[in-house]
Each structure stands twice: as structure tokens, then as C-alpha cells.
A = this chain, B = another copy of it.
Amino acid sequence: MNARNQAAVPENLTRELAALIVGSRFDALPAKVVHEGKRALLNIVGCALGGCRHPAFEIALGALGPYAGQPLAQVLGRPERFDPLFAALLNGISSHVHDYDDTTPDNYIHNSSPVASALFAYASCHPVSGADLLHAFIVGFEVSSLIGTATYPAHYAAGWHSTGSIGVFGAAAAIGLLRGLSAGQMTHALGLAATQSSGLREMFGSMAKSFHPGRAAQGGYTAALLAERGFTAGTHGLEGPRGFAPVTCASFDLAKVTDAFGKTFELLRNTYKPFPCGIVTHPTIDACIQLQREHALSAEQIVAVRLTVAPLVKDLCNKQHIDTGLEGKFSIYHGAAIGLARGRAGLAEFTDETVRDPALVRLRNLTEALGDARISEDAVDVEVRLADGRVLHTLLEQSLGNLARPMSDAQLEAKLYGQTEVLTQDAARRVVELCWSVERLDDARTLIDAAVPPH
């Protein structure tokens, strides 16, 4: 709907952004941005490998595979080949389906999934140097995250799942850059991205959530291909009175996008989830893992647990009696139980089977959770009472993965290794090595090949 509260809208914002995108140079990127780009790539490769056998992926493949084109492209973690537009969709599903990918907390977008999903599909069947791949990834990430920040919170608050509805811009920019679009063509590509923008938060909790970054990857890729051939769009796709921002946001400040592009970097405010579950459960899990490790706890020692959490956390994740892995992802009781009993929280801790483990059911039942406005959403207070009478206590102020306490490179590697069941250990190690050295690869296919099991 037409916006009322937005800042002055730059008249040719879409054209200006297009010119900035096509004028971007890898050599001009600060070293720390390049390194963060590699961290984001490594993280999303791991997520795609972890999700590439998920039922949502298999169903989409079964339903749409019969309509796919020439099998030229590869999908991370899968031996089959697909047409690249379909491969982009599938990479998007796999890399987001476990809710384990990255987040820019300034706009709650998971930028890497739509951008990298399109890029890996493209680079799997076109010659692209590692540096060009990394450059396009960083540019795509910046484009979607900047648009996200410029339209936050109104766009997200309206009900859009911005990972899809905004990710499509990043995918279009990234593929357009690799295709060598002119600024004029890129303007149309951004318009064609705008007019495919979609994805509703109403889908949260269903498979359609992971379809969003997939469709964004496929739609952005499609936009670039069409624009390259001269298919025209409106040239004010972002800022025009019936363009993306006025139609989807009650307020926005698009000047932020062109002001910041290439100067400050969204990537430097990217965060990575240490656990594949609702982010507000992370402090609880983190604190409980620390207690388990420090005291070598086992489930049967524990007689009572008291969690004091931010009121919002209790509102969102208060389900104590649960039966499925998906429910477990949004239960602080389950988060505490796996932390205290197992000392870890990887994909294996969120299966239906694990959720039904009697030891964990017992722990959930003896846990109480209190909401307390003095506790921030990054924090938790945990008290654990043991059978021998001891009372353990910890107050965690910043959860692992926050901007204030980022995951280390080694922790990101360990996270990837926790998701590489589809690869041999040697292949997984090679994927990690190639991610860290991607900008030196003559052909990015070397990385993609390492992340694909033999047929």
C-alpha cells in the first residue's frame, strides 16, 4: 500500500543501484569483508549439505523434477544433475529447511540462502572463477541485506518473509553480475526481481518456508536471464509509486541502500546459528551445554531445572509437551534437555526420535521456565538441581553466535562437519579447505564438485 512515513525517495534509486552493482570490483573489497564472505559461504554450503535429503527437498524434487530441463547443473550434496534454474530452487530449499543458516539481525534476513543457491547452480555449469563467485556472492548479499535494512521493520512486520521477498534482489544482482549485464540491463533485472517478490510469514512451520529462498534464487536468476535478452521491466522497480517499497512497506528509507553500497558492509553484521532451532532458544541451549561440559552431567543426575528467560522467549517457545523434531526447535524445555543430557545440539537432537527419547521427556517435565523482564533475549539464567543435592547455576549474558560473541572459524567448520553425512570425511575436509581458499580457484566448480557425492 502507498507509504506515508517514508523518507524522501531517490528518484532513480533502481538505476543508481544497478550502476553500483555493475561497477563493483572484487579488488576494492576490504579483506575482512572477503573473509566474512567466505565464512558465510562455508556456513551455507554446510546447511545445504545438511538439508539436501530433507523430505521437503525430496517432495519438491519428485513433484517438479519431471518438468526440469537439461541436466547440466549440480545441487550441493546430491549426485543427480538438473537444469540450473531448478537447481537454484533446490539449493534454496536444502540450505534453509533446517532453519540453520545465517541471519543479519538488523533485518532478520537469511541472505546467503537465496544468493548462494542461485550462484552455486549457475557456477556448476558455467565457467566462473572462485574470485568471481565470491565477489558475486558478496554483492548479492549486500544488495538484499541493504534493501532489507532500508525497509525494516515495516516490510517484515507487514508479514513478508523477507528472505524470499527480498532475497530475490540479491539473487538477481549476483547472477546479473556474472552474466556481465550492463547498468541498463541490471535496472530491468532488479525490476523483474521486484515484480516476483513474494513469500508470506504465514507459511512459517511448513515446508513452504524453505520454498521461499528457493523461489527467490530461481526468480532472481530468471530475472537476470530475461533482462540480458532485452525483456523490459519498469525502471523504478524499487522506488516507483507502485514499486516494491511503497507497495510492501508502510515506511522505508531507500537512500540507505545506495548511500551504503560498497562503503559499509552488511556482511560484517552477519551471524551464524550454532544450533538448528529457534534463535531465542539459543541462550538456554548454550548455557546448558556449558554446564553439561563443565560438570560432565548425565540426564539421570538431574532432579530439577529452572530457566529464567526474557518474557518474549517464554511467549514464543513455551511448549513443554512435544512429540516432533519441529516442535523441539521451538521449545526451551527441549533446548535445556538436550544441552544438559547430551552437551550438544546438532541436527540429530531435533529428530522426532530424539524428541521422544524418555530421558529427554523426563528432563523436559522436570524443567520450569520463568519469564523475567530483567533478562535480555540474548541471555538466560539456569539453575540445575542434582540428585546428590548440589545446585549448579549459570548466568549467560551473550549467547554464542550473537554479534557480540560470534562463532569462530573453527566453530563454523565444526558446524559444517555436523551436516556432512552425505559426504565422506575426506570430501568434507576438502570442502572446508576450498571454501577458505575459494578466491584462488580458477574454476569454482572445484568447490562444487567436492560438495557433490559421486553418482
* A residues neighboring B (CB under 8 Å): 1-2, 56, 59-60, 62-64, 66-70, 83-86, 154, 157-161, 164, 188, 191-192, 194-208, 211-212, 215, 222, 225-226, 228-234, 236-237, 240-244, 246-247, 249-250
Taking the closest CB of chain B, its distance from the CB of A213, in whole angstroms, is 12
Residues in B neighbouring A203, C-beta threshold 8 A:
191, 195, 233-234, 237
Residues in B neighbouring A164, C-beta threshold 8 A:
195
Q: Does the CB pair A231–B207 fall under 8 Å? A: yes
Q: Does the CB pair A204–B250 fall under 8 Å? A: no
Residues in B neighbouring A231, C-beta threshold 8 A:
56, 59-60, 63, 207-208, 211
Residues in B neighbouring A232, C-beta threshold 8 A:
206-208
Residues in B neighbouring A240, C-beta threshold 8 A:
202
Number of copies: 2
Q: Does the CB pair A195–B199 fall under 8 Å? A: yes
Q: Does the CB pair A60–B226 fall under 8 Å? A: yes
Q: A1-B158, A59-B230, A207-B231 are in contact. List 4 more A-B contacts (CB 8 A).
A: A197-B200, A202-B234, A203-B234, A207-B232
Q: Does the CB pair A195–B212 fall under 8 Å? A: yes
- 24 A-B pairs (CB sep. < 8 Å): A1-B154, A1-B158, A1-B159, A1-B249, A63-B228, A63-B229, A64-B222, A66-B70, A67-B70, A67-B84, A67-B225, A159-B243, A191-B202, A191-B208, A194-B200, A195-B200, A195-B202, A195-B212, A197-B198, A201-B242, A203-B233, A206-B232, A206-B233, A207-B231
Given the complex of chains A and B, what is the CA–CA distance between A287 and B312 in angstroms? 66
Taking the closest CB of chain B, its distance from the CB of A40, in whole angstroms, is 25
